[in-house]
Structure formats: C-alpha cells, structure tokens
Structure 1
Amino acid sequence: MTMLKYTAAALAMLPFTAFAQTAEDEIVVTASGFAQPRSETGQAIDIVDRDRLEQLQSATINEALQTVPGVSIATRGGLGGQSSAFLRGGSSAQTLVLIDGVRINDLTSPNGAFDFGALMTGNIGRVEILRGPNAVIWGSQAIGGVVNVQSIAPVDGFEGRFGAEYGAYDTKRVNANLAGSSGRLEGSVGGSFVSSGGISALAGGTERDGYDNLTGNARLKVHVADNLDLDFRSYYNRATVEYDSAFGVGANALPVSRNRQFVGYVGANFDLLDGRLKNRIAYTRTDIKRVGTDPVVFSFNNFNVRGAIDRAEYHAAFDVNETLTLVAGAEYERSFASTAFEGAAPDIARNHVGSGFGQVILRPVAGLTLTAGVRHDAYDDYGEQTSFGGNVAFTPNEGRTMFRATYGEGFRAPTLTEGQPPYGNPDLKPETARNFDLGVEHQFIEGKAQVFATYFNRRSNDLIAFSSISFQSENIDKVTATGLEAGLSLNPTDHLDIRASYTRVDAINRSAGANFGKRQTLRPQHSMSLTADWQTPFGLSVGSSLLWIGDSFDNAANSLRLNSYALVGLRASMPLTDALEVYSRIDNLLGADYTVVAGYNSFGRNATIGVRAKF
C-alpha cells in the first residue's frame, strides 16, 4: 500500500492532462460512428496503433489493453485460454467488441461476452478503446465501453510486412500482410499462424494444454466515382484450444474446443451536397461456431454450438454548416443460435431488433463542441429500450488543455440463452446503466509532456444473474462503479518515450442480500502500468514494462482473495537494414508467482526472439 499511496500522491500533484496514445489530432470513429477529431468529443478514448504494438512487442491484444487505463484482463490459463476484458469495472458481457466495425460478441455464450483469448496482434493495425457507455451509437452491450479492433488498412503505393518469432513453451508465430493502392483500387490482405505447446490451464496439472490459431484478414475499397466507394472487409479465425475443466477430470483433463469466427462486411460510402452529406450503407455478417470434444462423457465439454448475426445498417452525417453536424442511422439485426450438449438435440433461438438513432454535434464557438443523442431499440421478444447520451469537449488554448464531460446511458439486452426457453426467462428486462465522467487533459513543455485524469461514476440496474430460487436468470443485481483514471507521458527527446497510467475502480455490489457492499469478482481496485522505451544512438532500442495489479476477489462473498502482483518485462530490437529488424523480449522477468483467476495457472519467466521486415 505504501507504493500505491506515493504513486497516487504523485499523480495528484500533476496538472491533469492527456495521454500520449491519444494525441489531439487523432481521428476516432467510436464516438459517433463516423471519423471525427478526438478533440471534438467529450468521451474518453484511447488508441493503440501498429507502431505502439511493435514497440511493446505485444503478441496478444490482451497485453496491449493492459497498458490502457480503466481496462483489466482476466485470462484462465495460458495462451488461448478464455480471456475477459473488464472496462471500468463492468462485466465482460458489458464490453462491446468490433472487428473492422462489425460486432463479434459471442451470442452462443451464456452472457454474450467476447473471448479475447483468440485475438492475436499479427495483422492488427489499430485498436480504439472507448471507455464508458455509448448506447446511442452502438446499442446493446456498450456499457463498460467499446473495443474496436481494426486490421492493417490499405496504404498509398505498396507495403509489405512480415514477422516470425519463437519463444518459451515451444511457441511459434508467423504473420504477413500486403497493402497498397492502384488506380481506383486499394486493399490489404494478410494472415497469421500461432502454435504453442502451452502450460496446464488448471494449477497442479502435468499435462500441457496446447493452442493453435490461424487468422486471415482482407480489405478492399473500390473508388467507383469521386463521391462513391464500395467497401469490402473480412476476418476469419480458426483456433484449437486444449483446456482443463472442473466438469471433466481436473487439471489433467483432455477436452478440446475447435472454434471458428468469421466477419464479413459489404458496404458503400457516398457523399452528396458537395461532400456535406456523408452516407454509409452496409450489410454485415458474424458467424461463430464452436465444437467441443472430451473423452469424459456427460462432462458438458462435448458440445456443438453455432451463432450468426445478420445486420443491415444505414448511417448518415450531415454538415449543415461549420457549427452544426447531424448524425442519424437506422439498423436491423437478426440473430440465431443453436446449442447442443452431449449429443442431445440442439436448442435453437432467434431474435430480431430494429433500431434508430440521432445525434446533434454543435460547435457554437471555437474550441467548444457539444454533442447530444438518442436511440430507440425494439426487440421482438424483450420489448423496447430508449437510451440518451451527451458530452462536452472544450479547449481554451487550441488543444493544449482539454476539458471533457460525458453523460451516457447503456443497456444490455438479454442473450438468447438468458431470455428464451428452454433455459431462459422470457420476462427478463435489459440491464441498464447511467454514467457520467469528468476529465481534464493538458500538454506542456511544448507538447513533450502530457498528463490526464478522469473521474467516472456508473450505476447499473436490473443486472441479469442466476436465481437459486427460480433456477433461471432474473433481473436481481445492482452495481455501482466509481473510479479515477490518471496518467502521463513524457517525450523529452525524439528517442525516449515514457508512459504511465493508474486506475482505481470501486465496483460494488448494491443488490439486497448477504453480498451487499462487496466488490465485484476479478475487478482489482487498483492497477498501474509503466513503460519506458529508448532508442540508442547506434540504433538499438531497449524498453521495459511494469504492470502492477492490486488485490481482487474471485467470489461474490469476497472470501476468496487474489493477492496483488507485479510483472516486469524487458525488450530490445535492432535494425539490421532499413527493412529488417531483429527483436527479443523477456516477460515476467522476475519470475513472479501470481494468480489471475483462482485455480488457474499463469506464465512464469519466458523469453522470445523474433524478426520482422517491412518493405
């Protein structure tokens, strides 16, 4: 606690400001669904781009997200193990995940949460993280926040990337991507493969749980006319996960899950009224399939599940004049899920939802942007839901200081498993949340130093939980989540980059009963990240990371405590030519023995060496 007190005190003395990952000229899309300068939104948004991923040598999206304030990750076991992302203390089901703008949350899972375990960084170009609710634009599940993962985008001319590495636990990674443009065409295509011998997922096991992952990505844009583009995107992931399960024979169990994810996007972008009216029309498809096998019969690890989301949408942004922009959209979504366990006949569920939203962006004076919006969703089985939101962004000095304030509402509609027979409760209502946050950002020393702080307060009602009385899901839980996100970045020279962030989250159960006032499971109250990278005069780059995670609990009664831990990493890279670079890293340098989820193993000290090329 002493280190924590001194860290918090040091951050409190800093002028509140902005994070280096999100410079004011960055363009974001998660705030309004259209590209806009980050300086024009009051919402808290961070960006991790390709350069940052390579600087950190992040092999998984999880590793990169751990450096973002307000985000905590819980992974069950080794590489490929089930991974949950908690944004500002929200549940993993309250984090909406997009890949190239398409929803990919797993509607075959009981609560619709996305499993980050399969998301590698091989051909990822950028990750945009919006912290806090934004149901006006994104609808259901955007309560804790939105994570928008984007594959490597097309570039002018031609660009090729290649990478390969080998590391502990017989882990091999290969990735390649080609991107370019010619005439009216621009595109990007790539693939990656990961294979690992793994560790035992459950503690105490001697049998290793391996992992294989094959990913492909493609994007194509056709410039039909000066004001018309056709847009095609696809993402495919196939993974084989060996894991341990309490429903089998424990730490040396042999269940295997073969998972497939597909995302497809077909759209058109067209401008009218001299470019003032931007239109986007699209059809998207998300297809998920998981097949599980286990030598143990009736372990519920033998399963065959499939889910699909078909979605049609129209979005428009109209610049009425320099001070006023109107954003509107209409969406229709059809979802389907089929689940079968232990060879039984599948349970099939379907749902339809129609949605519409509108948003007003007003710039009454220089440096001030006001945004307000409303959304209405109509589900064919759960009823209707209306959500409001608004935010303010103000800079009195051309972006050197930014003041931000946001009020946002979010909701999560019951999943097909939670709300439909034979196991669901058709009387369920959506989970709802109301959030406000206040933030201040500041740049000083001619932009070489930036700091920020954001306070947030979210109240969630009608949370869905299993009732031991009715033996089905009920709207019985309430949670409050309050906290502080703070950080700084320093770039005293072009060759030195230092970034730090601290998060405090108090996610508290406010439901009547024995667990009233208890902390939510797997939500550390305190966390801190520190990275430092230096490029030496002779080209060698060296860097180090410190991730400190405070105590958490792994049960609702808060009787099962998980102790705090610190992970130290060391990395280096050296260019051999202008196009070729070798690199290496050591993770968990000090060999910390730590637990993220009770009963599950975590990686010890491990090293990796690799090569990457860009031409």
Structure 2
Amino acid sequence: MTLLKYSAAAFAMLPVTAFAQTAEEDIIVTASGFEQPRSETGQAIDIVDRDRLDQLQSATISEALQTVPGVSIATRGGLGSQSSAFIRGGNSAQTLVLIDGVRINDLTSPNGAFDFGGLMTGNIGRVEILRGPNSVIWGSQAIGGVVNIQSIAPVSGFEGRIAGEYGSHDTKRLNANIAGSNGLLEGSIGGSFVDTDGISALAGGTERDGYDNKSGNARLKARVSDSFTLDIRSYYNRATVAYDSAFGGGANGLPVSRNRQFVGYVGANIDALDGRMQNRIAYTRTEIKRIGTDPVVGSYNNFNLRGSIDRAELHSAIDMHDALTLVAGAEYERSFTSTSFEGAKPNVARNDVVSGFGQMILRPVTGLTVTAGVRHDVYGDYGGQTSFGGNAAFTPNAGRTMFRATYGEGFRAPTLTEGQPPYGNPDLKPETARNFDLGVEQQFLDGKVQIFTTYFNRRSNDLIAFSTVSFTSENIDKVTSKGVEAGLSLNPTDRIDIRASYTLVDAINRTAGANFGNRQALRPQHSMSLTADWQTPFGLSVGSSLLRIGDSFDNATNSVRLDGYTLVGLRASMPLSDRLEVYGRVDNLFDANYIMVAGYNSFGRRATFGVRAKF
C-alpha cells in the first residue's frame, strides 16, 4: 500500500487514523512534509503526544523536550524566561520550529533562534521532534533538527477539555479547548492563560521577574467535495516578560518585554488521478513583535522589534506505483524586519527566497523503504544553496526489528540582522552541515520491551560568529558533533510505564585558533532521563521523573564550568469520575541548587495542584 493511501489528507499535517496500520504504528510528517508511517523513514524521530504531556504534567514544551534523547535545554531564569533548545549539540538557531506546520523562528532575534520560554503545553496536542538535518524538505535552519508543534486536532464527534492549576510563586494556569467533526467540517478552538510572580532571573536579585501569557489556537477544515478540502489554522500568543538585563539594572533591574506572535495558515488540499495524486496549495503568515521598556536604565532595553514571514507553497505527491512515490514542491518566501532602539529611526531589512525540491520514496521489497531528495534555494541577498539527503529503513520481521540509516544535509541562511547593513555583513555565506545516522530498534515480549540506539556524526562548516578582528559577523566557525542516543521502554503490564533515555554528545569546536578542541558552550556531554508511572488498581496514578545533566561550559573558552545536576520530580493524579480528574506534582523534590546558564537563577522546589475535565 502506498503512502498516499495511508491518508486521504496527505500534506494537511494533521494526525489521522484512516489508514491500514497496526494500533502501535506512529504517523510522522517531519520526514517528508506529509503523513507517512514512521517505519518508512530512516530518520530519528520522536513523538510527545497529548497523553504523554498529561502523564508528565509538563507545563512548558521545553520541560517535555528534556525527556527526548538528543535534546538539551538552557533557560535563563524562571517561567517565561529565554529558553533555548540544542539538538545533538547544534546551536539553538539551527533548530527549525513549526507551529501547525508554519515556521515560527524569531526574525527579531539576531540569529533567528526560537525562544521556547513562552510556549506552554495547555492546548498542544502533539510535538514531533526530528533529530538531524533535513533541509531537503524544510530549507534553512533545519541543521540540528525540526520541532513540529501541533495544536489539539479535531476529533470525531465532539470533545471539550478544560484544566486549571495553582502552584508555587503564585503561578496560575487555565486552558480550555473544544474540538469536533461531522464529516464535512472539522474544527478546534482553544485558549490558555498563565500568570506567575516568578523568581529573579539573575542570581542575587531580590525582586521577582513576573510573567503572564495569553494564547489562542483555532483550526477549521471544510470538505467541499471528495477531492477538495479547505484548511485554515491560526495561533496567537501575547506575553509580558519581566527580566533582568546584563546591559544595566543588574539583578534588581526593571526592564519588561511585551511580546506578540501570530501564525496563520490558509490552504487547499486537492486530489487528482483517482486519488493517486495529492496537491497542497497554501499561504502562511508569521508575525512577531517585541516592545521593550525600562523605566530606570532605558538605552538598549527600550526597543521596538517587528518581523514577518509571508510564504506561498505548492506541494505535490503522486503514486507512480505501489513501490514508488514522487514528491515535489515549490515555495516562495518573503521576510521583513524593523529594528529600533531608544526611539531611534527603525532599521528596515527585507529578503526573499525561491525554493524547489524533489524527493523519491522507493519500496523495492517488503520491509525496505529508500528515500532520496534534493532541494535548491535562491536567496535575494546572497544567492543559491543546494541540499541533498537520503535515508533507508528496513525491517525483516514486520517492525519488531528496525534498521535505520540517514545521510542529510542542512543549512542556515544568514538572518537579516547578520547579513544586511547596518549591523550585518553582506558577504556572509550560509552555515552548512553534513550528517549521517545509523540506528537499530528492537522489540521484545510482544512489544512490552523496546530498546533503540543511534549513532550520529555531523560536521558543520562556515558557522556564523562575531569576529573580534573585523567587528562584524563572519563565516569563521567549524564544529564536529558526534555521539550516541539510546533508549528503553518497559510496559510489563498495562498499568506500568517506564521510559529511559541516555545521550552522549561530543560537540567540539574545530575552528583554528585558541578555542580549537573546546566543547561548545551549554552542551552537556552526558544527559539522562528516566520516568516511571504506575496506575494503581483503584485508579490513582503515581509517577516520578529523574533528569541527570552532566557538566558543561558556559563559554567558548571553556573557562566557566557548569557543574552537572540531578532533578527528581513526583506526580500523582486521581480520577473523580469518567470526566473529572485531580492531579498534583512536586518539581525538584530535593531542592537541588543548580545552574543552567552562568549568572542566572533556576527554580528550587515547587509544588502544583490542578483539576482537569473532559466533556
């Protein structure tokens, strides 16, 4: 059976179950840009779904990502503070982030890195994490990996969710979502609210840096005919972050940033050739706005930053044969930024890019899938970039054993800040990377025990860094990142769920000079996650999490060492009825004193109590 037959809504990037597969089969979209079984890709991909988020009681996406192998998190302060994700030792700017299939990376940031600090889990239905480069499908920034975040999807019939919780530091959360489908229309709409007094972001402060966040999400899909479907999605986030600035005011400073994010998607899915061909036409819009004020220091902390991305896409896939699927796409993207500080005249920058890609998915024999593709991007300010990639997945025994192999190329185009005057260098080239993976997965005892291990090796060249010689950005850095990811899942009974992962990452600076051979900043060499959950016979669920992060360095010279740390959490939930449940958790149970980024605070012991309901 071909990939297109697995879903009548390929490219819609919405989870569906209308395909022939086992109940355990995972469906992923980050490998090829449309839905396919995970067993048909050689790329390393993990899924954190709504049930897992509820089980972990994760308040933020970054907390959930810490349980995923190959991912490390660095947060500068409390809830809402800047939070960076590093995949397989790559820079935070080398992680491409999507919300409901739309790029959300921050154009107002100098390097375009996405800040996970403001992304709560309230109405998130699923997070898909691809580890390793995949610029053939996703273009710029897909060097370290891709994180695709999806809001709660429509369901058959009607379903509503509501949850509220209260915790330490006067933290309040509330979220609600309704979703439904009648066959012709599918829809989902929700909102969430978070407010906290917080902690001082910088160490040594006595004033608290508070945070509030309001977000909304909506999705609508209308089946106009058997071969034509309209698809509309949107996400909005409005947050106010009090923070401490290194540019004045110190740990008791009073700067505030008011942030706005909007994502919009309008698309049409069109079938042709008796369903053998799927086409998706879409327009997407991303808007980001940040306004900073500082009543005491002013200067750099008073800013007005705006950025936007307009994108048009045409993606098609055709089943040439049961053993061959061809995928192709054409894209046009236009980006814009406006930057001003302390009331100065805004600096405006623009760029556009035209892209095309093709991919072949071949199934020559049962159990073997081979994928190969190529992409070419032409940027208005620096020229073209070509990326290649390929992977293979093979199972000799219907999925009980899986062998995976991947070769992937990734690139990151210079941001408007890096590449255009007055701050940038117009002679910059894109950062590039080449990566290969080798992995194996094995199931035992009818799937009750699962293990996996993956070796990866990535070489990155022409990385953009600030030059102390020219006092501008230059393509001067080289990095080698290699390591091993391993995981174990145990489900001896339906009531017990144990999951463990371990990551070894050697992210080494290969740039000629004083820092040659040093470790990349904020990339721990060793990290481990262990979660264990048990549902008692009388309904109570109890669980615990252990996160062990090894030593790392805070700077490129490796002169500032950050000691490793261990965090332990406890959680429990109890259903009061089929529709109502109470829950609670204690994070950092032993009140460990740890540092994620030098000079910044981290949370001590915290307690939270909540109620959630379905109807």
**Native 8 Å contact 2:132 2:144 kept in 1:** yes
Mapping 1:273-312, distance limit 5 Å: 273-312=273-312
Deviation for aligned residue 1:23:
8.8
Residue number in structure 2 paired with 1:103: 103
Q: Does 1:426 align with 2:433?
A: no
Q: CA deviation at 1:153?
A: 0.3
Aligned counterparts of 1:581 and 1:606: Cα–Cα separation in 2: 21
User: Per-residue CA shift, 1:464-504, capped at 9, x if unaligned?
Assistant: 00001111000000000000000100000000000000000
Superposition deviation, residue 55 in structure 1: 0.2
- Letter aligned with residue 583 of structure 2: Y
**Are the equivalent residues in 2 in contact too, given 1:24–1:38 (CA < 8 A)?**
no
Unaligned runs of 5+ in 2: 1-21
- AA paired with 1:411? F
In structure 1, what is the Cα distance between the partners aligned to 2:80 and 2:298? 24
For residue 246 of structure 2, give the secondary structure of its aligned residue in structure 1: coil
* 2:482–2:506 contact (8 Å) kept in structure 1: yes
Task: Output the CA distance in 2 between the equivalents of 1:246 and 1:40.
Answer: 48
| AA at the equivalent of 1:598 | A
The residue type equivalent to 1:606 in the other structure is R
Number of the residue aligned with 2:611:
611
Q: Which residue matches 1:321?
A: 321
Question: Is residue 179 of structure 2 the alignment partner of residue 179 of structure 1?
Answer: yes
Counterpart code for 2:579: A
Per the alignment, residue 371 of structure 1 pairs with: 371
Please give the alpha-carbon distance, in whole angstroms, between the structure 2 residues aligned to 1:457 and 1:375: 22
Q: Could you say which residue in structure 1 is the equivalent of 2:511?
A: 511
Pairwise CA distance, 1:238:
0.2
In structure 2, what residue type is equivalent to 1:99?
I
For the Cα contact (< 8 Å) 2:202–2:599, is it kept in 1?
Answer: yes
CA distance in 2 between counterparts of 1:489 and 1:386 reads 39
1:265, 1:287 → 2: CA distance? 12
Q: Which residue of 2 aligns with 1:264?
A: 264
Cα offsets for 1:405-459 (capped at 9, x unmatched): 0000000000000000011000000000000010000001111000000000000
CA contact (8 A) 1:316 1:328 kept: yes
1:88-124 Cα shifts (integer Å, max 9, x gaps): 0000000000000000000111000000000000000
2:439 is matched with which residue?
439
For residue 414 of structure 1, give the secondary structure of its aligned residue in structure 2.
coil
How far the C-alpha of 1:184 sits from its partner, in A, is 1.3
Q: Partner of 2:275: helix, strand, or coil?
A: coil
The whole-number CA distance in structure 1 between the counterparts of 2:439 and 2:261 is: 37
Alpha-carbon distance in 1 for matches of 2:555, 2:128: 31
Query: Where does residue 42 of structure 1 map in the other structure?
Result: 42
Could you say which residue in structure 2 is the equivalent of 1:9? none
Q: CA deviation at 1:158?
A: 0.1
Q: CA deviation at 1:392?
A: 0.4
Q: Please give the secondary structure, in 2, of the residue aligned with 1:492.
A: coil
Alpha-carbon distance between aligned partners in 2 of 1:74 and 1:236, rounded to the nearest angstrom: 24
The residue type equivalent to 2:68 in the other structure is V
2:7 is aligned to: none
Tell me the TM-score normalised to structure 1 length: 0.96
Quick check: 323-332 or 298-307, which moved more?
Answer: 298-307
Instruction: Give, in whole Å, the separation in 2 of the partners of 1:180 and 1:326.
Output: 33
Structure 1 position 299, deviation (Å): 3.5
- The alignment of Structure 1 onto Structure 2 pairs a total of residues equal to 594
Corresponding residue for residue 237 of structure 2: 237
2:592 is matched with: 592
Q: Is the 8 A contact 2:328 2:358 kept in 1?
A: yes
| SS of the residue 2:358 aligns to | strand
Structure 2 CA distance for aligned equivalents of residues 604 and 548 of structure 1? 16
- Equivalent position of 2:561 in the other structure: 561
Aligned partner of 2:467: which letter?
Answer: S
Cα deviation for residue 296 of structure 1 reads 3.1
Tell me how far apart the structure 1 counterparts of residues 368 and 192 of structure 2 sit (CA, whole Å). Answer: 44
1:16 is aligned to none
Equivalent residue, structure 1, for 2:522: 522
Helix, strand or coil at the partner of 2:251: coil
**Equivalents in 2 of 1:516, 1:444: separation in Å?**
44
Distance in 2 between residues matched to 1:598 and 1:576, nearest whole Å = 44
| C-alpha contact (below 8 Å) 1:169/1:197 kept by paired residues | yes
Counterparts of 2:380 and 2:210 in 1: how far apart (Å)?
A: 42
Show the counterpart of 1:169: 169
Query: Does the CA contact (< 8 Å) of 1:483 and 1:503 recur in 2?
Result: yes
Residue 539 of structure 1: aligned partner: 539
Quick one: structure 1 residues 299 and 248, their matched pair in 2 at CA, closer, same or farther if it must change by over 3 Å? Answer: farther
Aligned match of 1:11: none
Q: Which residue of 1 aligns with 2:382?
A: 382
Q: Which residue of 2 aligns with 1:85?
A: 85
AA partner of residue 308 (structure 2): A
Query: 1:115 is matched with which residue?
Result: 115
SS at match of 2:53: helix
Local SS of the residue matching 1:408:
strand
Q: CA deviation at 1:139?
A: 0.1
Alignment of 1:150-169 (within 5 A): 150-169=150-169
Match of 1:145 in 2: 145
Q: SS at 1:137's partner residue? A: helix
Percent identity, aligned pairs only, is 82
| Residues 304 and 341 in structure 1, CA contact (< 8 A), matched pair in contact too | yes
Secondary structure of the residue aligned to 1:343 is coil
Kept in 2: contact 1:462–1:476 (CA 8 A)? yes
Task: Output one character per residue of 1:41-93: Cα deviation in whole Å (capped at 9) or x when no partner.
Answer: 00000000000000000000011000000000000000000000000000000
Deviation (angstroms), 1:183: 4.4
Q: In 2, distance between residues paired with 1:80 and 1:319?
A: 45
* Aligned mates of 1:293, 1:23 — CA distance in 2: 52
Q: In structure 2, do the counterparts of structure 1 residues 168 and 298 end up closer, same or farther at CA, with 3 Å as the change threshold?
A: closer
After superposition, the Cα gap between the structure-2 partners of 1:24 and 1:613, relative to the gap in structure 1 and judged at 3 Å, is closer
Contact 2:360-2:373 at 8 Å conserved across structures: yes
1:297–1:342 Cα contact (<8 Å) kept = no
1:11-90 residue pairs with structure 2 within 5 A?
25-90=25-90
Structure 1 residues 469 and 24 mapped into 2: Cα distance closer, same or farther (>3 Å)?
farther
One-letter code of the match for 1:383? G
Cα deviation digits, residues 323-349 of structure 1 (max 9, x gap): 000000000000000000111100000
Q: Which residue of 1 aligns with 2:4?
A: none
Q: State the alpha-carbon separation in 1 of the partners of residues 296 and 337 from structure 2.
A: 25
Task: Please give the secondary structure, in 2, of the residue aligned with 1:251.
Answer: helix
Instruction: Give SS of 1:163's match.
Output: strand
Partners of 2:394 and 2:589 in 1: CA distance:
43
Distance 1:24 1:399, change over 3 A: farther
Displacement of 1:24 in angstroms is 5.9
Q: Which residue of 2 aligns with 1:348?
A: 348
Give runs of aligned pairs for residues 126-145 of structure 1, distance below 5 A. Answer: 126-145=126-145
Letter in 1 for 2:239: A
**Does 2:239 match 1:216?**
no
Whole-Å separation in 1 of the counterparts to 2:352 and 2:538: 60
* Aligned position for 2:393: 393
Structure 1 consecutive aligned stretches of length 4 or more whose deviation exceeds 2 Å: 296-299
1:488 corresponds to:
488
SS of structure 1 residue aligned to 2:283: strand
Q: 1:169 Cα deviation (Å)?
A: 0.2
Aligned position for 2:330: 330
The residue type equivalent to 2:327 in the other structure is V
Equivalent residue letter for 2:176: A
> Matched residue of 1:300: which SS?
helix
The Cα RMSD (Å) is 0.9
Structure 2 counterpart SS, 1:283: strand
Contact 1:24/1:399 (<8 A) preserved = no
Amino acid at match of 2:60: T
* Kept in 2: contact 1:24–1:37 (CA 8 A): no
- For 1:296 and 1:591, the matched residues in 2 are separated by 34
1:493-533 superposed Cα distances (whole Å, 9 cap, x missing partner) = 00000000000000000000000000000000000000000
| Structure 2 equivalent of residue 409 of structure 1 | 409
Please report how far the alpha carbon of residue 182 of structure 1 lies from its aligned counterpart in structure 2 after TM superposition. Answer: 2.3
2:301 partner SS = coil
SS at match of 1:121: coil
- Note if contact 2:299-2:341 (Cα within 8 Å) is conserved in structure 1: no
Alignment of 1:189-228 (within 5 A): 189-228=189-228
Instruction: Identify unmatched segments of 5+ residues in structure 1.
Output: 1-21
Secondary structure class of the residue paired with 2:247: coil
Matched residue, 2:499: 499
Deviations 1:140-175 (A, max 9, x none): 000000000000000000000000000000000000
Moved more, 272-281 or 510-519: 272-281
2:336 maps to amino acid: F
